[in-house]
Structure 1
Amino acid sequence: MRRAHFSSSKPRHTRGFTLIELMVTLAVFVIIVTIGIPGFQNLVAQNRATTTANELNVAMHAARSAAVTHPRDTVSVCAADVEEGANDPDALSCGEEEDWELGWIVYRDADDGNDELIRVRQPLRSSITIEDSGIESDGTLEFTNTGTLNPDTVDFSGDGNVTFEIDVTTGRGAERCVRVGVSGRARVDQEACD
């Protein structure tokens, strides 16, 4: 008995995807993106808040360290005046308002007139706000030669801490608090200031 053998001149290979396979893949992709993007945006906002808080914390530590190592000089941290020193670091000065979003400067005010710029932070992104509490009206924190805050620059009516509340408006829970105690020690809290 002979078997029938059918052959075609072209081998049949299917290539590509069916319409249903493409639609299912697209639906899964849309679901993943819909769930993932808000979470990623929140992660980015929290990262920005942490980075800003850490930079401000480092500025406070640098000011305290410089005050201890240069005991005859005053070391200060203040909100920068962007208009004055936008393109010239030597022309930087403290702003008249406490607008920390415009950046900040740490400087040593030497008795001999040889002032030193220690650290500069350029303006922040527009989605980041910083509210301070416990600083006297001129907005400058001074550190003494023992590393403590100068009492003339701090309002001790509250809990004795100077606080900087950092908030990123594009994310939930993206707040950080930098606290500087009377002793001059700074720390970062992972929540909003009380």
Structure 2
Amino acid sequence: MRAADRDFSSSFHQPHSASGHDALGGRPGARAVRAASGVAFGIRRARAPVQGFTLIELLVTLSILAVILMMAVPSFGPTLRSNRLFAVQSEVMSSLALARSEAAKRGVPVGVKAPGASVASGNEWGTGWSVWVDSNANGAIDAGEPVLRAHEPLVAGLTLSVPNNGVIEFDAHGFLLPAPSPARQLKACSSTSGAPGYQITVRPNGLADSASAACP
């Protein structure tokens, strides 16, 4: 038997006292159990160091993200303008429908026009527009006449041209004023060269429709 085996075996055969305990005062075999426990659990593994980012690695990552963001933002420009233009034509269609229905309901002319007395040619509703009850049928927003809806000015880069000096008005039957009137064509455009816009056509019977159109 090898020396190591003899030493390990001897640890389980210690002399016992008359009281049934070993010479060290413990229960029989207790020392052997403690020794075995020391062999099994006495060795502790060193903890692996916690890994993280250094300041330089963090700065490099942020720089790369900044470059990617700068490259991506310009590509969103046309999409944002297209979405804004679509929103403008939707709001115009909604305002025209409101004016026509209110004219039929109230039995008096109701119109849509820019709030100011003067308008810019080719961008008549660029400063916004209002739906109002034209009680005296003079085509102007006078003091005391109810304004049913007011729209804020367009954002920079968008235009909204409206014929008839920027006034669209409906009579008590929902027809265009003055009667008889030809169809009116409004056009919402972006200042971006070659970008498509929307043409809104208001027919003599007051019905309106919108379609994609080329812009100058």
Q: Same fold (TM over 0.5)?
A: yes
Deviation at 1:57, TM superposition (A): 1.0
Distance 1:116 1:19, change over 3 A: closer
Task: Name the counterpart of 2:167.
Answer: 140
Runs of 4+ in 1 over 4 A off after TM superposition: 9-14, 17-27
Task: Name the counterpart of 2:110.
Answer: 75
Distance 1:104 1:68, change over 3 A: same
Instruction: Give the letter for the 1:52 counterpart.
Output: V
| Residue pairs, 1:20-169, within 5 angstroms | 27=64, 29=65, 32-71=68-107, 73-81=108-116, 95-97=117-119, 99-110=124-135, 115-132=145-162, 135-136=163-164, 138-151=165-178, 154=181, 156=182, 160=183, 162-169=184-191
Distance across 2 between alignment mates of 1:140 and 1:20: 62
Contact in 2 for aligned 1:140/1:153 (Cα 8 Å): no
Distance across 2 between alignment mates of 1:19 and 1:76: 64
How big is each residue's C-alpha offset from its partner over 1:132-180, in whole Å with a ceiling of 9 and x where there is no partner?
2xx33x43222122211124585x3xxx3x1221123258635222221
Distance across 2 between alignment mates of 1:122 and 1:12: 61
Distance across 2 between alignment mates of 1:152 and 1:193: 29
Instruction: Give the letter for the 1:77 counterpart.
Output: V
How big is each residue's C-alpha offset from its partner over 1:48-100, in whole Å with a ceiling of 9 and x where there is no partner?
101111111111001100111122x111111221xxxxxxxxxxxxx233521
Contact in 2 for aligned 1:75/1:144 (Cα 8 Å): yes
Distance 1:171 1:35, change over 3 A: farther
Q: Cα RMSD over matched residues?
A: 3.6
Task: Name the counterpart of 1:188.
Answer: 210
Distance across 2 between alignment mates of 1:37 and 1:188: 30
| 201, 204, 207: which one aligns with 1:179 | 201
SS state at 2:213 partner: coil
Distance 1:182 1:108, change over 3 A: same
Equivalent residue pairs, number? 165
Task: Name the counterpart of 1:91.
Answer: none
Distance 1:151 1:12, change over 3 A: same
Bigger relative contact order (CA 8 A; separation at least 6): 1
Contact in 2 for aligned 1:76/1:142 (Cα 8 Å): yes
Distance 1:107 1:117, change over 3 A: same
Deviation at 1:36, TM superposition (A): 2.5
- Ranges in structure 1 where 5+ consecutive residues have no aligned partner: 1-8, 82-94
Distance 1:76 1:26, change over 3 A: same
